[in-house]
Chain A
Amino acid sequence: GAVVSQHPSRVICKSGTSVKIECRSLDFQATTMFWYRQFPKQSLMLMATSNEGSKATYEQGVEKDKFLINHASLTLSTLTVTSAHPEDSSFYICSATQGALNQPQHFGDGTRLSIL
């Protein structure tokens, strides 16, 4: 089955640090990748939609300068949390799809980010 690898799985760092999270599709070409954030006991919240070779589309209320998304190839998208602060502590998870209509989304294992 389709596999999405997300790295790192856990990050603990100091306030002000920038953190990069990678999302890779291992055995398929992901024309579209999604980045989600999840706070404890809450549902996933879509942050942005990333299409290969073009700028990401951010959801309302998500700062694009704060959460930099790059989707430079058909198998890799990255999310960089710039100058992270404690309120950015959350669970971040990506998903990938082959892009045609009604293709299933395949999820990574998520990254738990803790900013001290």
Chain B
Amino acid sequence: KNEVEQSPQNLTAQEGEFITINCSYSVGISALHWLQQHPGGGIVSLFMLSSGKKKHGRLIATINIQEKHSSLHITASHPRDSAVYICAPLSIQGAQKLVFGQGTRLTINP
């Protein structure tokens, strides 16, 4: 079993739809990154959170440490949101090492 499980693995939606990507992890963590990887490969860190909820524009990330679960939400989705979204907990054992989920490939159709 992977230490980090994301669902769904692939998601196709229409522009404007509300998107939710889920992440469950089994390792002990100090924080968790949500990353966005564009087709060219570059990666942007969207959020780093260790509790509660963070919001940035149309993006919302939540985390429940007790349940070892995090979600990334996108409101009013747009084709430019099409990318791979990666959940990456920061392991407390690993000297700031990130543990990566397999990613969710999101496609937003106009």
Chain A residues within CB distance 8 Å of chain B: 32, 34, 38, 42-46, 49, 57, 91, 93, 95, 97, 99, 101-110, 112
Check B35 against A109 for contact (C-beta < 8 Å): no
Beta-carbon contacts under 8 Å, B1-57 to A: 30-31, 33, 35, 40-45, 48, 50
Contact partner of B50 among A44, A49, A57, A102, CB < 8 A?
Answer: A102
Given contacts A102-B30, A102-B31, A109-B40, contact A43 B86 (CB under 8 A): yes
Q: What is the bound-complex CA distance between A42 and B100, given in angstroms?
A: 10
Tally A-B pairs: CB < 8 A: 56
Chain B residues within CB distance 8 Å of chain A: 30-31, 33, 35, 40-45, 48, 50, 86, 90, 95-98, 100-103
Check B41 against A101 for contact (C-beta < 8 Å): no
Check A91 against B41 for contact (C-beta < 8 Å): yes
B6 CB, min distance to chain A CBs, angstroms: 10
B21 CB, min distance to chain A CBs, angstroms: 15
